[in-house]
Amino acid sequence: MIFGTLPSGEQVERVELSSGRLRASVLSYGAILQSLEVSGVNVVLGLTTLEDYLTRSRYFGAVVGRYGNRIAGGRFTLDGAEHRLPLNNGPNSLHGGDHGFDRKVWTISEATGSSVTLTVVSPDGDQGYPGTLTASITYTLEDDAIRLDYTAETDAPTVVNLTNHSYFNLAGGGDVLGHVIQMDAEHYLPVDEHKIPTGEPAPVKGTEFDFTTPHAVGERYDGGYDHCYVLDGGIRVTEPVGGLTMEVTTTEPGVQFYAGGMLDGVATPYGPHAGLCLETQHFPDSPNQPRFPSTVVRPGETRTSSTTYRFTT
């Protein structure tokens, strides 16, 4: 069905999915996961109009790219050539620039009752990135889980780091400071004042970043988390009142845990900590940090990744 029309005249479609106790809505604008209902409770933050997504969204439910997270100074060097990107986060380029994949209309290339595949083509030089990149995401509902499968191919060497920016609230309302998280991650990436990793991963043991045993989001650090963790396994989030649990597994090496502290209830419809993000991904600023896992993709290669969010009570 048609969700709305952009000022350019492009139409934005909405696809409804269902399987078991899960229902989801996906938009072709930004490949946005607009809603995800578990037994009738919507567990992601979404907006009701296209105008709100154009003016009031903090990446709600969108696929961000070409490069999710931050690149320091909005520049990187690949094969001896420097590439400059838009600065849209202080001195950094964030989530692919000011017209990244979250701002593009994706093509719905395949849809069934329980899955949809969306594709976007980013031309050479788009937001400063080299090579024509073709990316896709498939959302699949599997009774009690939603699986996200990503692919990316290029005709010239480039960097890519795709992720989904859904904000989860397992209670369907209120804030997430009481949500309890357990994360199989013994290291995280310390950051500087611009939220760029300073270098080597640091142990979480003995710090407020330690979720190897369960802790509530607001128990320490005032819920101010916006950090990348080095994953050794999965993640478990529980809403203690209703008892809904979300288990996250991924092929990616890291996850950006953001507790929604910059939501203000004014520029966006949601207030602070209305939802939390678990953005599975490669590490921030990897193109400038050779010790991190590489995000380079070259012609003839297909970059793939998969993340599953499973719900139990």
Q: Is 292 exposed, middle or buried (0-12, 13-18, 19+ CB in 10 A)?
A: buried
CA neighbor of 154 nearest in space, from 170, 174, 169, 134: 134
State the pLDDT confidence band at 223, using cuts at 50, 70 and 90.
confident
Neighbours of 172 (CB within 10 A): 15
CA neighbor of 130 nearest in space, from 174, 169, 80, 55: 80
- In this predicted structure, the answer to whether residue 9 has a pLDDT above a threshold of 90 is yes
pLDDT for the residue numbered 222: 85
Hey, is 102 helix, strand or coil?
A: helix
Average pLDDT over residues 285-298: 98
Average pLDDT over residues 131-141: 98
The CA–CA distances, whole Å, from 306 to 15, 148, 260, 262 equal 21, 6, 24, 28
pTM of the full structure: 0.97
Locate 69 and state its tokens. 């997270």
Percent of the chain with pLDDT over 90: 97
Distance CA(93)–CA(83), nearest Å, equals 12
The amino acid at residue 137 is I
User: Is 279 an annotated catalytic residue?
Assistant: yes
Which position among 83, 95, 165, 227 bears the catalytic label? 165
Average pLDDT over residues 23-33: 98
Q: Which domains does the chain have, with CATH numbers?
A: 2-312 (2.70.98.10)
pLDDT for the residue numbered 279: 98
- In this predicted structure, the answer to whether residue 209 has a pLDDT above a threshold of 90 is yes
Neighbours of 205 (CB within 10 A): 10
pLDDT for the residue numbered 13: 98
Distance CA(92)–CA(28), nearest Å, equals 27
Average pLDDT over residues 30-59: 97
- In this predicted structure, the answer to whether residue 57 has a pLDDT above a threshold of 90 is yes
Non-local CB neighbours of 267 within 8 Å, separated by 6+ positions = 56
Contact 26, 136 (CB under 8 A): no
Which position among 13, 153, 279, 282 bears the catalytic label? 279
The amino acid at residue 198 is T
Question: Phi and psi of 102, rounded to 5°?
Answer: -65, -15
Q: Whole-angstrom distance between the N-terminal and C-terminal Cα of the chain?
A: 32
Q: What is the pLDDT of residues 166-205, one digit of tens each?
A: 999 999 999 999 999 999 999 999 999 999 999 999 999 9
Distance CA(132)–CA(67), nearest Å, equals 14
Please say whether the dihedral angle defined by the alpha carbons of residues 105, 106, 108 and 113, taken in this order, is positive or negative. Answer: negative
Average pLDDT over residues 138-150: 97
User: Is 215 an annotated catalytic residue?
Assistant: no
- In this predicted structure, the answer to whether residue 130 has a pLDDT above a threshold of 90 is yes
pLDDT for the residue numbered 187: 98
Locate 284 and state its tokens. 């921030």
Average pLDDT over residues 294-309: 98
Average pLDDT over residues 260-279: 95
